[in-house]
Amino acid sequence: MTTVYEGAFAKLNLTLDVLGKRDDGYHDIKSVMQAISLRDDVQIDIDTGKPWVLECTDPAVPCDETNLAWKAAKVFLDATSKTVDGLRIHITKRIPMQAGLGGGSADAAAVLRGLNKHFGSPLSILALAEVGASVGSDVPFCVLCGTAVAEGRGERLRKLPDMPDCVFVICKPDFSVSTPELYRKIDEVAIAKRPDHQAMETALVTGDLGAVAENLCNVFDPVVTSEHLELNYIKSIFNSYGSVGQQMTGSGSAVFAILPNFEYAAVVCNMLRDNYPQVYIAKPV
Ligand code: C5P
Protein backbone atom coordinates (compact mmCIF):
# COMPACT_ATOMS: atom_id res chain seq x y z
CA MET A 1 0.00 0.00 0.00
CA THR A 2 1.17 3.56 -0.76
CA THR A 3 -0.13 6.73 0.88
CA VAL A 4 -0.26 10.11 -0.86
CA TYR A 5 -1.15 13.39 0.87
CA GLU A 6 -2.53 16.41 -0.99
CA GLY A 7 -3.81 19.82 0.09
CA ALA A 8 -7.25 20.76 -1.27
CA PHE A 9 -7.39 24.54 -1.58
CA ALA A 10 -10.60 26.59 -1.59
CA LYS A 11 -11.25 29.17 -4.32
CA LEU A 12 -12.72 32.64 -4.44
CA ASN A 13 -14.33 34.21 -7.50
CA LEU A 14 -12.84 37.70 -7.87
CA THR A 15 -15.11 38.14 -10.88
CA LEU A 16 -17.97 35.98 -12.12
CA ASP A 17 -20.03 36.69 -15.22
CA VAL A 18 -22.76 34.43 -16.62
CA LEU A 19 -22.75 34.87 -20.39
CA GLY A 20 -25.64 32.65 -21.45
CA LYS A 21 -27.36 29.29 -21.28
CA ARG A 22 -25.97 26.43 -23.34
CA ASP A 23 -27.67 23.52 -25.06
CA ASP A 24 -26.31 21.08 -22.45
CA GLY A 25 -28.15 22.93 -19.64
CA TYR A 26 -25.00 24.53 -18.26
CA HIS A 27 -24.07 28.20 -18.63
CA ASP A 28 -21.07 29.81 -20.25
CA ILE A 29 -19.24 31.81 -17.65
CA LYS A 30 -16.17 33.99 -17.37
CA SER A 31 -14.51 34.19 -13.98
CA VAL A 32 -11.21 35.27 -12.46
CA MET A 33 -10.59 32.74 -9.73
CA GLN A 34 -8.14 32.76 -6.87
CA ALA A 35 -6.94 29.79 -4.80
CA ILE A 36 -6.63 30.47 -1.06
CA SER A 37 -4.89 28.85 1.87
CA LEU A 38 -8.17 27.69 3.49
CA ARG A 39 -7.85 23.96 2.80
CA ASP A 40 -9.03 20.43 3.34
CA ASP A 41 -6.40 17.69 3.72
CA VAL A 42 -6.78 14.62 1.54
CA GLN A 43 -5.05 11.33 2.29
CA ILE A 44 -5.18 8.66 -0.40
CA ASP A 45 -4.21 5.08 0.45
CA ILE A 46 -3.57 3.23 -2.80
CA ASP A 47 -3.65 -0.59 -3.17
CA THR A 48 -5.27 -1.28 0.21
CA GLY A 49 -6.40 -4.70 -1.04
CA LYS A 50 -9.90 -3.85 0.22
CA PRO A 51 -13.07 -2.36 -1.34
CA TRP A 52 -13.00 1.40 -1.99
CA VAL A 53 -13.82 3.51 1.03
CA LEU A 54 -14.19 7.27 1.56
CA GLU A 55 -14.11 8.86 5.01
CA CYS A 56 -14.61 12.46 6.05
CA THR A 57 -14.25 14.25 9.38
CA ASP A 58 -17.54 16.09 8.65
CA PRO A 59 -20.50 13.69 9.01
CA ALA A 60 -22.60 15.88 6.65
CA VAL A 61 -20.39 14.91 3.69
CA PRO A 62 -21.65 11.95 1.62
CA CYS A 63 -19.11 9.15 1.79
CA ASP A 64 -20.11 7.15 -1.29
CA GLU A 65 -19.65 7.24 -5.06
CA THR A 66 -21.62 10.54 -5.24
CA ASN A 67 -18.72 12.33 -3.54
CA LEU A 68 -16.72 14.33 -6.11
CA ALA A 69 -13.45 12.93 -4.70
CA TRP A 70 -14.65 9.38 -5.39
CA LYS A 71 -15.79 10.38 -8.90
CA ALA A 72 -12.41 12.01 -9.53
CA ALA A 73 -10.57 8.79 -8.67
CA LYS A 74 -12.74 6.82 -11.10
CA VAL A 75 -12.37 9.38 -13.87
CA PHE A 76 -8.57 9.47 -13.42
CA LEU A 77 -8.23 5.68 -13.64
CA ASP A 78 -10.51 5.58 -16.72
CA ALA A 79 -8.58 8.37 -18.46
CA THR A 80 -5.17 6.84 -17.82
CA SER A 81 -6.14 3.11 -18.03
CA LYS A 82 -4.41 2.60 -14.65
CA THR A 83 -5.75 0.22 -12.00
CA VAL A 84 -5.64 0.09 -8.22
CA ASP A 85 -6.23 -2.84 -5.89
CA GLY A 86 -8.41 -0.95 -3.42
CA LEU A 87 -8.50 2.73 -2.46
CA ARG A 88 -9.13 4.66 0.76
CA ILE A 89 -9.73 8.41 0.59
CA HIS A 90 -9.72 10.29 3.90
CA ILE A 91 -10.78 13.96 3.91
CA THR A 92 -10.09 16.31 6.81
CA LYS A 93 -12.76 18.91 6.14
CA ARG A 94 -12.22 22.59 6.89
CA ILE A 95 -13.74 24.35 3.86
CA PRO A 96 -17.39 25.10 4.66
CA MET A 97 -19.90 23.43 2.35
CA GLN A 98 -22.45 25.17 0.14
CA ALA A 99 -20.42 28.32 0.46
CA GLY A 100 -19.24 29.02 -3.11
CA LEU A 101 -15.70 28.13 -2.01
CA GLY A 102 -15.43 25.02 -4.20
CA GLY A 103 -14.80 22.62 -1.28
CA GLY A 104 -16.01 19.45 -3.03
CA SER A 105 -14.17 20.43 -6.21
CA ALA A 106 -10.98 21.07 -4.23
CA ASP A 107 -11.15 17.55 -2.74
CA ALA A 108 -11.70 16.08 -6.22
CA ALA A 109 -8.75 18.06 -7.59
CA ALA A 110 -6.55 16.86 -4.73
CA VAL A 111 -7.42 13.25 -5.57
CA LEU A 112 -6.56 13.87 -9.25
CA ARG A 113 -3.20 15.45 -8.32
CA GLY A 114 -2.43 12.73 -5.77
CA LEU A 115 -3.17 9.81 -8.09
CA ASN A 116 -1.30 11.49 -10.95
CA LYS A 117 1.73 11.92 -8.69
CA HIS A 118 1.51 8.28 -7.55
CA PHE A 119 1.53 7.00 -11.13
CA GLY A 120 4.52 9.16 -12.15
CA SER A 121 2.58 12.07 -13.73
CA PRO A 122 1.11 10.42 -16.85
CA LEU A 123 -0.98 13.60 -17.33
CA SER A 124 0.25 17.20 -17.51
CA ILE A 125 -1.47 19.65 -15.14
CA LEU A 126 -3.58 21.01 -18.02
CA ALA A 127 -4.59 17.49 -19.13
CA LEU A 128 -5.43 16.68 -15.51
CA ALA A 129 -7.58 19.82 -15.30
CA GLU A 130 -9.39 18.73 -18.46
CA VAL A 131 -10.09 15.29 -16.96
CA GLY A 132 -11.52 17.08 -13.91
CA ALA A 133 -14.09 18.97 -16.00
CA SER A 134 -16.33 15.89 -16.15
CA VAL A 135 -16.39 15.77 -12.33
CA GLY A 136 -17.49 19.39 -11.80
CA SER A 137 -17.21 22.86 -13.32
CA ASP A 138 -14.80 24.18 -10.67
CA VAL A 139 -12.54 21.12 -10.60
CA PRO A 140 -10.23 22.24 -13.46
CA PHE A 141 -9.37 25.48 -11.65
CA CYS A 142 -8.87 23.60 -8.37
CA VAL A 143 -6.34 21.37 -10.16
CA LEU A 144 -4.44 24.40 -11.46
CA CYS A 145 -4.73 26.74 -8.39
CA GLY A 146 -3.07 30.19 -8.27
CA THR A 147 -4.85 32.96 -10.15
CA ALA A 148 -6.56 32.20 -13.46
CA VAL A 149 -9.40 33.18 -15.72
CA ALA A 150 -11.91 30.40 -16.40
CA GLU A 151 -14.24 30.33 -19.41
CA GLY A 152 -16.69 27.91 -21.02
CA ARG A 153 -18.30 25.94 -18.18
CA GLY A 154 -15.18 26.74 -16.17
CA GLU A 155 -12.87 24.27 -17.95
CA ARG A 156 -11.03 26.70 -20.28
CA LEU A 157 -8.28 28.15 -18.12
CA ARG A 158 -5.64 30.79 -18.61
CA LYS A 159 -3.07 31.58 -15.89
CA LEU A 160 -2.90 35.18 -14.68
CA PRO A 161 -0.21 36.90 -12.60
CA ASP A 162 -0.41 36.12 -8.87
CA MET A 163 -2.76 38.19 -6.76
CA PRO A 164 -0.90 41.04 -4.99
CA ASP A 165 -0.05 40.27 -1.36
CA CYS A 166 -3.13 40.60 0.87
CA VAL A 167 -5.24 38.72 3.41
CA PHE A 168 -8.79 37.47 2.91
CA VAL A 169 -11.47 37.17 5.57
CA ILE A 170 -14.25 34.78 4.59
CA CYS A 171 -17.60 34.63 6.38
CA LYS A 172 -20.14 31.87 5.74
CA PRO A 173 -23.61 32.80 7.03
CA ASP A 174 -26.05 30.15 8.23
CA PHE A 175 -28.15 29.97 5.08
CA SER A 176 -27.16 28.17 1.88
CA VAL A 177 -28.01 28.71 -1.76
CA SER A 178 -28.80 26.07 -4.38
CA THR A 179 -26.40 26.57 -7.30
CA PRO A 180 -28.74 25.14 -10.02
CA GLU A 181 -31.60 27.29 -8.72
CA LEU A 182 -29.44 30.40 -8.78
CA TYR A 183 -28.40 29.69 -12.38
CA ARG A 184 -32.12 29.35 -13.24
CA LYS A 185 -32.85 32.67 -11.52
CA ILE A 186 -30.08 34.53 -13.30
CA ASP A 187 -31.69 33.55 -16.64
CA GLU A 188 -34.75 35.55 -15.59
CA VAL A 189 -33.19 38.76 -14.30
CA ALA A 190 -31.56 41.62 -16.18
CA ILE A 191 -27.92 41.76 -15.09
CA ALA A 192 -27.27 45.37 -14.13
CA LYS A 193 -23.51 45.22 -13.63
CA ARG A 194 -21.02 42.85 -15.23
CA PRO A 195 -17.30 42.47 -14.46
CA ASP A 196 -14.75 44.46 -16.45
CA HIS A 197 -12.33 41.61 -17.14
CA GLN A 198 -9.84 43.78 -18.97
CA ALA A 199 -9.60 46.09 -15.95
CA MET A 200 -9.21 43.11 -13.58
CA GLU A 201 -6.44 41.62 -15.71
CA THR A 202 -4.64 44.96 -15.85
CA ALA A 203 -4.95 45.27 -12.06
CA LEU A 204 -3.33 41.83 -11.67
CA VAL A 205 -0.61 42.52 -14.25
CA THR A 206 0.32 45.78 -12.49
CA GLY A 207 -0.05 44.24 -9.01
CA ASP A 208 -2.47 47.00 -7.97
CA LEU A 209 -4.45 45.64 -4.99
CA GLY A 210 -6.75 48.69 -4.86
CA ALA A 211 -7.70 48.17 -8.52
CA VAL A 212 -8.27 44.43 -7.94
CA ALA A 213 -10.62 45.34 -5.08
CA GLU A 214 -12.37 47.99 -7.18
CA ASN A 215 -13.01 45.48 -9.95
CA LEU A 216 -14.51 42.71 -7.82
CA CYS A 217 -17.82 41.84 -9.48
CA ASN A 218 -20.00 38.73 -9.20
CA VAL A 219 -23.33 38.80 -11.08
CA PHE A 220 -24.81 36.41 -8.50
CA ASP A 221 -24.06 38.74 -5.59
CA PRO A 222 -27.00 41.19 -6.05
CA VAL A 223 -29.40 38.30 -6.76
CA VAL A 224 -28.57 36.53 -3.48
CA THR A 225 -28.17 39.76 -1.48
CA SER A 226 -31.68 40.93 -2.50
CA GLU A 227 -33.09 37.84 -0.77
CA HIS A 228 -30.62 37.73 2.13
CA LEU A 229 -29.98 41.28 3.33
CA GLU A 230 -27.74 39.75 6.00
CA LEU A 231 -24.98 39.77 3.37
CA ASN A 232 -25.11 43.58 3.43
CA TYR A 233 -24.61 43.49 7.19
CA ILE A 234 -21.50 41.32 6.86
CA LYS A 235 -20.16 43.56 4.09
CA SER A 236 -20.78 46.66 6.21
CA ILE A 237 -18.69 45.15 9.03
CA PHE A 238 -15.94 44.34 6.50
CA ASN A 239 -16.14 47.87 5.17
CA SER A 240 -16.03 49.51 8.59
CA TYR A 241 -12.88 47.67 9.64
CA GLY A 242 -10.42 48.23 6.84
CA SER A 243 -11.60 46.07 3.92
CA VAL A 244 -10.57 47.44 0.54
CA GLY A 245 -13.19 45.31 -1.27
CA GLN A 246 -15.85 42.73 -0.43
CA GLN A 247 -18.12 40.40 -2.33
CA MET A 248 -19.95 37.06 -2.34
CA THR A 249 -17.97 34.18 -3.85
CA GLY A 250 -19.44 31.87 -6.53
CA SER A 251 -23.08 31.07 -5.90
CA GLY A 252 -22.62 31.89 -2.21
CA SER A 253 -23.43 32.09 0.49
CA ALA A 254 -19.94 32.96 1.75
CA VAL A 255 -18.73 36.54 1.39
CA PHE A 256 -15.10 37.64 1.51
CA ALA A 257 -13.15 40.79 2.18
CA ILE A 258 -9.71 41.83 0.99
CA LEU A 259 -7.60 43.24 3.81
CA PRO A 260 -4.14 44.78 3.53
CA ASN A 261 -2.63 42.71 6.39
CA PHE A 262 -3.25 40.20 9.22
CA GLU A 263 -3.79 42.91 11.84
CA TYR A 264 -6.81 44.28 9.99
CA ALA A 265 -8.04 40.76 9.23
CA ALA A 266 -7.87 39.76 12.91
CA VAL A 267 -9.96 42.77 13.92
CA VAL A 268 -12.62 41.99 11.27
CA CYS A 269 -12.75 38.36 12.45
CA ASN A 270 -13.27 39.45 16.04
CA MET A 271 -16.10 41.74 15.01
CA LEU A 272 -17.91 38.88 13.22
CA ARG A 273 -17.19 35.83 15.37
CA ASP A 274 -19.94 36.42 17.97
CA ASN A 275 -22.63 36.22 15.29
CA TYR A 276 -20.87 34.01 12.76
CA PRO A 277 -18.99 30.90 13.88
CA GLN A 278 -17.80 30.23 10.33
CA VAL A 279 -15.25 33.03 9.83
CA TYR A 280 -11.84 32.28 8.31
CA ILE A 281 -8.59 34.09 7.52
CA ALA A 282 -6.72 33.00 4.39
CA LYS A 283 -3.92 34.07 2.08
CA PRO A 284 -3.82 33.81 -1.72
CA VAL A 285 -1.89 30.67 -2.79
O1 C5P B 1 -20.63 21.50 -12.48
P2 C5P B 1 -21.27 21.63 -11.13
O3 C5P B 1 -21.69 20.31 -10.56
O4 C5P B 1 -20.49 22.46 -10.19
O5 C5P B 1 -22.63 22.44 -11.39
C6 C5P B 1 -23.71 22.43 -10.50
C7 C5P B 1 -24.92 22.99 -11.22
O8 C5P B 1 -24.75 24.40 -11.44
C9 C5P B 1 -25.15 22.41 -12.59
O10 C5P B 1 -25.95 21.25 -12.52
C11 C5P B 1 -25.87 23.53 -13.32
O12 C5P B 1 -27.23 23.56 -12.98
C13 C5P B 1 -25.23 24.78 -12.72
N14 C5P B 1 -24.10 25.29 -13.53
C15 C5P B 1 -24.36 25.93 -14.75
N16 C5P B 1 -23.31 26.42 -15.48
C17 C5P B 1 -22.04 26.33 -15.04
C18 C5P B 1 -21.77 25.70 -13.80
C19 C5P B 1 -22.82 25.19 -13.07
O20 C5P B 1 -25.52 26.03 -15.15
N21 C5P B 1 -21.04 26.85 -15.76
Domain spans in the chain, listed from the N-terminal domain onward: 2-159, 167-282
Say if ligand 1 is within 6 A of residue 210 CB: no
Residue nearest ligand 1's atom 20 by CA: 26
Instruction: Give the H/E segment covering residue 37.
Output: strand 27-46
pLDDT score for 44: 98
Cβ neighbour number for residue 273 with a 10 Å cutoff? 12
Say if ligand 1 is within 6 A of residue 19 CB: no
Indicate which atom in ligand 1 lies nearest the CA of residue 153.
Answer: 21
- Which positions are catalytic? 11, 138
pLDDT score for 258: 98
Half-sphere exposure of 258 (CA within 13 A, CB side): 23
pLDDT score for 111: 98
β-bridge partners, 12? 34
Nearest to 9 by CA among 32, 41, 33: 41
Tell which CATH architecture fits domain 167-282.
2-Layer Sandwich (3.30)
| Entry pTM | 0.96
Can you tell me the distance from the alpha carbon of 164 to that of 285, in angstroms, rounded to the nearest whole number?
11
CA angle (71, 126, 29) in 5-degree steps: 75
Q: What torsion, rounded to 10 degrees, do the Cα atoms 32, 106, 179, 258 define?
A: -50
Distance 31 CA to ligand 1 centre (A): 14
Read off the amino acid at residue 129.
A
Residue range 2-159, CATH number: 3.30.230.10
Can you tell me the distance from the alpha carbon of 179 to that of 207, in angstroms, rounded to the nearest whole number?
32
Say if ligand 1 is within 6 A of residue 18 CB: no
pLDDT score for 132: 97
Each residue's pLDDT, cut to its tens digit, for the chain (285 residues) gives 999 999 999 999 999 999 999 999 999 999 999 999 999 999 999 999 999 999 999 999 999 999 999 999 999 999 999 999 999 999 999 999 999 999 999 999 999 999 999 999 999 999 999 999 999 999 999 999 999 999 999 999 999 999 999 999 999 999 999 999 999 999 999 999 999 999 999 999 999 999 999 999 999 999 999 999 999 999 999 999 999 999 999 999 999 999 999 999 999 999 999 999 999 999 999
Distance 26 CA to ligand 1 centre (A): 6
Say if ligand 1 is within 6 A of residue 179 CB: yes
Say if ligand 1 is within 6 A of residue 181 CB: no
